[in-house]
Structure 1
Amino acid sequence: MRLISRTALAFAIALSALGAPASAQKPADSKEAAAEKEAAPIPPPNVSVTRHKGVFGGQAISYTATTGETYLKAEDGTPKAAIFSTSYVKDGKDPNRPVTFLFNGGPGSGSVWLHMGAFGPKRVAIPSDGRDDGAPPFPIVDNPDSLLDVTDIVFIDPVGTGFSHALGKTDPKDYWGVSADAKSVADFIRLWLNENGRWNAPKFLGGESYGTTRSAAVANALEGAYNDVSLNGIILISTILDFGAQAEVQGNEMPYVIALPTMAATAWYHGKVADKPADVASFVAEARAFAQGPYLSALAKGNALTGEERAGIRRQLARFTGLSETYLDQADLRVSTSRFYKELLRDRGLTVGRLDSRYTGKDYDNAGETPDNDPSFYGIDGGYTAAINAYVRQDLGYKTDRSYVTIGGVGNWDWDLKGDGWEGKYYKSVSPYIGKALRENSGLRVFVGQGYYDFATPFFGAEYSLSRTGIPADRIQFHYYDAGHMMYVRDEDRAKLTGDVRAFIRAR
């Protein structure tokens, strides 16, 4: 490996300006010190370039990794924000080689999960079977499942995530919203295409969780005006597009319908189903049919659902959820996901995970209504956090004193969809962006990957949101996995996911 790095020379200028005697210096937390910091020169982007070799998809690949900052600038050229990214580009400078832009969700999450879990050239090896990841050291191993045999890859951390941050006097809140965030990512992609000479290359865009929301909004920002950046594919992993349909508020019946097939899969996995079918897919198919048929119709009747009709729905609901008819009656046939996590395995003194309901946890006591925490998140976060910090600083040679923000790095999020009329103010769905992109780009296709055991973004929610009027169905493909939100933590599903996405890219 050969290391090439560019350091921030302008720091020397800033330091020379601070040469006053110690007695004249301002306290570090004073308003004056903060003002001086804002007025200090902004150093050039911090970037590291390294060269590597690996075997991916059975092919030996030599590639260059470029990790560091790209500045988003105002019209007058003033740097406003530093976007941290890691680009893996196959050596040879083929201007027509596919390139895939990836990010995670949150919306305050860095791209560490897809980077170190699924598609990057290295990954962190944590338990594959739903066990806690424990304590370090966590193995960082070669990832032969990476997509570098078929596409260059750019992992993007939006402002407030990873090492990305606002610059100078810029308020980071300027970037914290569906539309503002999408514009900043789209601006970054345009800059990357400029700098790398890839405007005519096949382009793929993808994200996980809120990253699927971002994918739809970024696709709209790229293709929704005359100065198009045309896409070949959108990759949606653990999809959330329609927030209105899945909002757990009183009077909204859809969240119960959407969550039911995932409850059925979870009950099946944990042995809570009588006469358990041989495979989860067949049981899920039954639950899906019940959810969108008899169950939806029953909930729509509200208080008019009585007598034997109500009893019949309750019996079927008990079979699919693994919960008692008494409990279902007390919940008026509407069980929130947070209650389900606690109730399903209460007799065993365990809770099930939200991100991945294969995981189980043990609360402080067994009497509560909801879990203390999500065992499927605290079961993986330590390994991923350690891995990204070690890998970027050691293997990729990136030097910084900033802390990598894995998740939770943004404040209040602006959910209004700017420039889309009244519909963006009341019903929060970016599904129409996908429909518009498909209708106006005949070469665009959509990949949807969903885990059966994911309550954060239930697979039936993805199916529902992408089956609405105005969304062409013939260029959308669905793939299902025997894990949860981050299906790639399961070894078998990581291989299947990367194989499915590889085939999707090759079939452009």
Structure 2
Amino acid sequence: MISRIALAVAALALPLPLAAQDDPAPKDNPAPVEDYTANSASERFSGTFGGSRVSYTATIAEQVLEDDKGNPKAAIVTTSYIAEPRDPSRPVTFLFNGGPGSGSLWLQLGAFGPKRVDIPGDASDDGGPPYPILDNPDSLLDVTDLIFIDPVGTGFSRALGDTDPADYWGVTKDARSVAAVIRKWLNENGRWNSPKFLGGESYGTTRSAAVVNELEGSYNDVALNGVILISTVLDFGAGAETEGAELGYITTLPSMAVTALYHGKTSGVSAEAVAEEARQFAIGPYAAFLLKGQRAGAEERASVRRELSRITGLSEEYLERADLRVSSSRFYKELLRDRGLTVGRLDSRYTGRDYDSAGERPDNDPSFYGIDGGYTAAANSYFRDTIGFDTDRDYVTIGGVGDWDWNLAGGRDNNAYLNVTPYLGRALRENSDLRIFVGQGWYDFATPFFAAEYALTRTGIPQDRIVYSYYDSGHMMYIREQDRAKLSADIRAFIRAR
């Protein structure tokens, strides 16, 4: 039986329909592997990034993890972009996407790599091929070398021989394998004394916190200068929408408010102003009302209902039927029901048209099926044809892992509450140079901005080394040209300020 936390986590962190998560990744060879030759490909290029001309080497390589007897167990693929001539004192940044089960193509070909796929940034569908692969002046290669990591079951990465891929599928299992790849890469490239940054998107932020714990949580430290969190999910209880859980209604309310403003259902000066107004209502009168449960009085209920309607653009009648608790999925369907449209989960600027407009939840997420074709085609074309990585394996963009182990190390049962934020709190307390960048899209319901703020403002987390930045798009803010440039500039400044 799938636990409630597993269902809640899957609903929150995965940027894909849940059905795709049920497909197990294929096993390759039934026998143990005693000797394995890692596959790799390399090419030299040059480009202009952040206004600077940079010559660089692009390398796709399998990093082979072995057991304590030296037997190959997994081949984890990294794509590295290293400025030439090589400088061991130059910053190096390790990046990955989320899912869990997502390859690194989204950040690599959408935001920070030297090339990007050209898809519409105005919340319209990406259509059919060909999809142009363009130079990316917003790449961070002018300030840091870049290493993109595809964990087991994503991209071209896989378990080898009779190794069970489930050995790598879990919060802690996955983090340990990624940390091992980072240590291996540092060894092989002589970069132990380079300034180091770690970053991820969506579940990749969960992975970032867990990897920080693996790198800095023992005496054999790999000390970091910064952690980059993009579309953050750290505290899964903060967004859980299950019966009896009230916090998720609080943390998603500001996202509903800015979405209603964007689609003309409410009025306001700006997304930023509306978000702040909704934050204050959410943690004030609305939180007090929810905590009282059925003991809240009729007058208080009426007052909260009126304000909730004004903020969300939903009718008081609908809110009353929902007991003043509207789940995200209901909001996607209800906000624009009068127009026969639904709004997106990853990016609520997107709209879709369902089979009918009478249902309670959308058929699918228009902000995912509006971008997936372009990224998949571009990744396969670029990795195989441009860099020359020769493999008969499919590139797994997303959905390539099976059942995920959500328990953290140490034997603690986390089925009641999964929260990796304390890993970051400890790292900040024990590493005085560590800083955290948090980038959030206003229109992201998969990882709402207020839930990220909630997680990172709890006790035990130093606040003076956390930087927040917000964008006028959703989960993958970099698909919008203005926000890609802003994100690049923000992170470039973050790296330079070490």
Q: TM-score range by the shorter chain?
A: over 0.9
> Which residue of structure 1 lines up, in the alignment, with residue 398 of structure 2?
407
Q: Is the 8 A contact 1:42 1:167 kept in 2?
A: no
How far 1:422 sits from its partner (Å)?
A: 3.4
- Tell me if 1:111 matches 2:101: no
SS in 2 for 1:298: helix
2:46 corresponds to which residue? 53
Match of 2:16 in 1: none
Task: State the 1:381 CA deviation.
Answer: 0.2
Q: Which letter does structure 1 place at the counterpart of 2:271?
A: V
Partner residue of 2:364 out of 364, 369, 373: 373
Partner of 1:120: 113
Distance in 2, Cα, partners of 1:291 & 1:213: 25
Out of 229, 236, 242, the position equivalent to 1:243 is 236
Mapping for residues 193-204 of structure 1, pairs under 5 Å:
193-204=186-197
| 3-state secondary structure, aligned to 2:260 | helix
Aligned to 1:209: 202
Q: Report the Cα distance in structure 2 between the residues aligned to 1:312 and 1:460, rounded to whole angstroms.
A: 23
Post-superposition Cα deviations, 1:245-274, rounded to whole Å, max 9, x if no partner, equal 21111111000000000000100000000x
| CA-CA distance at 1:77 after TM superposition | 0.8
CA distance in 2 between partners of 1:42 and 1:373 (Å): 44
Question: CA RMSD for the aligned pairs?
Answer: 1.2
Unmatched 5+ stretches in structure 2: 1-26
SS at match of 2:230: strand
Identity of aligned residues (%): 68
In structure 1, how many angstroms separate the alpha carbons of the residues matched to 2:229 and 2:312? 27
Q: Which residue is equivalent to 1:157?
A: 150
Equivalent residue letter for 2:310 = R
Using the alignment, how far apart are the partners of 1:397 and 1:492 within structure 2?
Answer: 32
1:124-163 pair list within 5 angstroms: 124-163=117-156
Closer, same or farther in 2 for the Cα pair 1:43/1:497, shift >3 Å?
Answer: same
In 2, the alpha carbon distance for the partners of 1:379 and 1:71 equals: 35
SS of the residue 1:301 aligns to? helix
Paired position in structure 2 for 1:29? none
Which string of whole-angstrom CA distances, capped at 9 and with x for unpartnered residues, describes residues 464-492 of structure 1?
Answer: 00000100000001100000000000000
1:267-313 deviation line (CA, Å, top 9, x unaligned): 0000000xx12211111110011001110011001001131111000
1:426 is aligned to 416
Which TM-score applies when normalising by structure 2? 0.93
What is the aligned counterpart of 2:427 among 423, 427, 437? 437
- Counterpart pick for 1:342 among 312, 315, 333: 333
Q: Is the 8 A contact 1:102 1:207 kept in 2?
A: yes
SS in 2 for 1:354: coil
CA distance in 2 between counterparts of 1:61 and 1:36 reads 41
Q: Which residue of structure 1 aligns with residue 227 of structure 2?
A: 234
Is 1:253 the equivalent of 2:246?
A: yes
Give, in angstroms, the shift of residue 42 of structure 1.
4.6
Q: 2:78 — aligned with what?
A: 85
Instruction: State the aligned residue count.
Output: 472
Task: Give the corresponding residue for 2:442.
Answer: 452
SS at 1:38 equivalent: coil
Question: Residue 389 of structure 2: which of 392, 398, 410 is its match?
Answer: 398
Which whole-Å CA distance do the structure 1 matches of 2:330 and 2:149 have between them? 35
Where relative contact order (Cα < 8 A, 6+ residues apart) is larger, the structure is 2
1:65 lines up with 2:55 in the alignment: no
Is residue 121–residue 143 contact of structure 1 (8 Å, CA) maintained in 2? yes
Q: Helix, strand or coil for the counterpart of 2:78?
A: strand
Equivalent position of 1:224 in the other structure: 217
Question: What residue in structure 1 maps to residue 283 of structure 2?
Answer: 292
Q: 2:218 aligns to what SS in structure 1?
A: coil
Q: CA deviation at 1:102?
A: 0.2
Give the aligned partner of residue 451 of structure 2.
Answer: 461
The alpha-carbon deviation at position 394 of structure 1 amounts to 1.1
Separation in 2, partners of 1:254, 1:423? 21
User: SS at the partner of 2:236?
Assistant: coil
What residue identity is the alignment partner of 2:319? L
The 3-state SS of whatever aligns with 1:315 is: helix
Distance across 2 between alignment mates of 1:45 and 1:503:
36
Q: Deviation at 1:506? A: 0.3
CA contact (8 A) 1:418 1:424 kept: no
Q: CA deviation at 1:35?
A: 10
Trace 1:484-495 onto structure 2 (pairs within 5 A).
484-495=474-485
Distance in 2 between the 1:39 and 1:112 partners? 30
Q: Cα–Cα, structure 1 residues 231 and 136, in superposed 2: closer, same or farther, change >3 Å?
A: same
In structure 2, distance between residues paired with 1:107 and 1:95:
32
Q: Give the Cα–Cα distance (whole angstroms) in 1 for the partners of residues 172 and 405 of structure 2.
A: 8
1:355 aligns with 2:346: yes
Please state whether the residue corresponding to 2:237 is helix, strand or coil: coil
CA–CA distance in 1 between the matches of 2:424 and 2:33?
A: 43
Q: How far 1:423 sits from its partner (Å)?
A: 6.4
Partners of 2:278 and 2:458 in 1: CA distance? 20
How big is each residue's C-alpha offset from its partner over 1:8-62, in whole Å with a ceiling of 9 and x where there is no partner?
xxxxxxxxxxxxxxxxxxxxxxxxxx99752566530000011110000000000
The TM-score, its normalising length taken from structure 1, stands at: 0.92
- Supply the distance in 1 between the matched residues of 2:356 and 2:56 (Cα, whole angstroms): 52
